[in-house]
Amino acid sequence: MHNGESGMDAELARLGSVDLNLLVPLLALLEERSVTRAAGKVGLSQPAMSHGLTRMRRLLGDELLVRQGRGMVLTPRAVELLPALRQALHQTARLVYAAPFDPAVDRRVITVAMTNSTAFVIGSTLSRLLAERAPNTVLRLRTTSVATMAVFAEDAADVVLLPEAFASSYPRERLYDDRWVVVTSWDAPREADALRLLETVPHVVVDASSENQRPYEILDERKVPYAVRQRVSDYLFVPHLIAQAGGVAVHRYQVGLEFDGRFDLRMEEFPFPIQTLGIDMVWNPWLAEDPFKTWLRDILIEAAEPLRARYAPAHGNGG
């Protein structure tokens, strides 16, 4: 017998001594972070779940859940366990019940994480397609600007739609393209080009937005004078504010197009070379390459097709 096979047999033998019935309650505990809620989720009494937690702590040599304030938080070991455990149990369920993926009858919760501006651009189309193709599923939209372990482990995101400028350690593939534009009201001087607007019209900026910093870094590098009149916390409030009260902002092209016809806005290309703002799909690394993932990828690509079709490349503005 090969050494690799002997090692595998030894692992399986050790696994045979483990009560695998603990794994489903363990997943409920890690997801709910509450003995009471986890017990209700899997149909156990609270004392039985507490006893199970004690056994799982002993088995894994870790506290798993620790009290913090009024609630419970996961230990680093539990955060590491959660996505792998979730995926293993879902794969086991598919193996045992041998039910092929059928979107017409599937009842899973589909979690897609994205920034609020990406949700504004593609969220309604994605929701409509899923309602048509998978009417029994639940679409769970989570707003985030990162694709970290926590998004996949704790928020259970199947996929994150991440702006190109935001880093991720996981593989990514482009969904649709976007870029920076200068947005102002129709009341702004018609003869002024984008640079002149940025120099002379008071700015509306988003506070605490790392994504929005790069255009202003470029303006500073080019020593372009500008004045900030208003700071807001909501990125999507900027076009409404400018349309109603005037001003200028650096905003997303695709978001600006969504406001076209709703507000009297004027868009001009950002006057200097700048990194594009493509939106990428970053998949949960524990999501198996199975028919569901392939299907969801196709749905996302279909939802983004109108965005790709209306995207007009900027002339002479890249970088």
Worst-scoring range by mean pLDDT, 203-207, 286-290, 291-295, 314-318? 314-318
User: What pLDDT, on the 0 to 100 scale, is given for residue 160?
Assistant: 92
- Report the number of distinct structural domains present in the chain: 3
123-177 residue pLDDT tens: 999 999 999 999 999 999 988 766 666 677 667 789 999 888 788 888 899 999 9
In this structure, the answer to whether residues 80 and 124 fall within a common structural domain is no
In this structure, the answer to whether residues 113 and 251 fall within a common structural domain is no
In a domain, 104, yes or no: no
Residue by residue, what is the 3-state secondary structure of the chain? CCHHHHHHHHHHHHHHCCCHHHHHHHHHHHHHCCHHHHHHHHCCCHHHHHHHHHHHHHHHCCCCEEEECCEEEECHHHHHHHHHHHHHHHHHHHHHHCCCCCCCCCCCEEEEEECHHHHHHHHHHHHHHHHHHCCCCEEEEEECCCCCHHHHHCCCCCEEEEECCCCCCCCEEEEECCCEEEEEECCCCCCCCHHHHHHHCCEEEECCCCCCHHHHHHHHHCCCCCCEEEEECCCCHHHHHHHHHCCEEEEEHHHHHHHECCECEEEEECCCCCCCCCEEEEECCCCCCCHHHHHHHHHHHHHHHHHHHHCCCCCCCCC
In this structure, the answer to whether residues 160 and 192 fall within a common structural domain is no
In this structure, the answer to whether residues 7 and 83 fall within a common structural domain is yes
Q: What is the pTM of this model?
A: 0.71
In a domain, 141, yes or no: yes
In this structure, the answer to whether residues 67 and 196 fall within a common structural domain is no
In this structure, the answer to whether residues 161 and 288 fall within a common structural domain is yes
In a domain, 316, yes or no: no
